[in-house]
């Protein structure tokens, strides 16, 4: 978690004053799978965030709004192995996609057509996603899906 904490500190992501493991357990119950540890660490320790990381704009949703936003955008209904975690502010959803038990990747995908076929891989984990952005990675220069 050290690498992620350095990145989050650099961009002044606000720290959470109170943590709630119950809220995360409830969220995991709704999505039907256990969230990756690095992302849970983010949710427990940090609030939502909107600003640029590296060259890209990022809006990471706060724990208190995750369930509601996933329901409103019909993410869980259309993408049962995916949970929305934010957006790029330009019509694309940033999400964690479960590939197999305890194996995730971060994807960006259009809100307008929530289908796995449009997922663009932007990180091997939540930490990797933030490190790629910090290192100047652009959203759509990946060739892998």
| CATH code for the domain of 111 | 3.40.1580.10
Q: What is the pTM of this model?
A: 0.90
Contacts of 145 (CB under 8 A, 6+ apart): 119, 120, 121
| Structure-token match 């704009």, residue found | 57
The structural domain count of the chain equals 1
Query: Which domain covers residue 129, as residue numbers?
Result: 2-134
What local confidence, expressed as pLDDT, does residue 2 receive? 56
Q: What are phi and psi of 126, to 5 degrees?
A: -60, -45
Q: Is residue 139 part of a domain?
A: no
**pLDDT averaged over the chain?**
89
Average pLDDT over residues 94-115: 92
What does the alpha-carbon distance between residue 40 and residue 42 come to, in Å, rounded to a whole number?
Answer: 5
Q: Which pLDDT belongs to residue 90?
A: 92
Is the pLDDT assigned to residue 39 strictly greater than 90? yes
For residues 142 and 141, which has the higher predicted lDDT (pLDDT)? 141
- 123: in domain: yes
Tokens of 111: 């809100």
Decide if 14 is inside a domain.
Answer: yes
Q: Which residue has the tokens 């995730």?
A: 104
pLDDT value for 142: 46
pLDDT the model gives residue 78: 94
Residue 55 in domain: yes
| Of the candidates 1, 11, 2, 43, the residue with the CA atom closest to the CA atom of residue 133 | 11
């Amino acid at each position: 978690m050290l690498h992620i904490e350095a990145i989050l500190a650099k961009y002044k992501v606000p720290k959470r004053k109170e943590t709630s493991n119950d809220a995360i357990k409830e969220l995991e119950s709704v999505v039907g799978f256990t969230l990756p540890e690095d992302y849970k660490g983010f949710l427990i320790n940090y609030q939502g965030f909107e600003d640029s990381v590296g060259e890209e704009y990022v809006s990471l949703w706060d724990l208190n709004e995750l369930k509601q936003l996933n329901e409103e955008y019909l993410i869980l209904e259309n993408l049962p192995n995916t949970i929305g975690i934010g957006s790029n502010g330009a019509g694309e959803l940033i999400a964690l996609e479960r590939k197999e038990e305890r194996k995730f990747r971060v994807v960006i995908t259009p809100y307008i057509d929530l289908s796995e076929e449009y997922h663009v891989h932007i990180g091997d984990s939540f930490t990797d996603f933030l490190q790629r952005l910090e290192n100047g990675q652009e959203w759509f220069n990946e060739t892998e899906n």
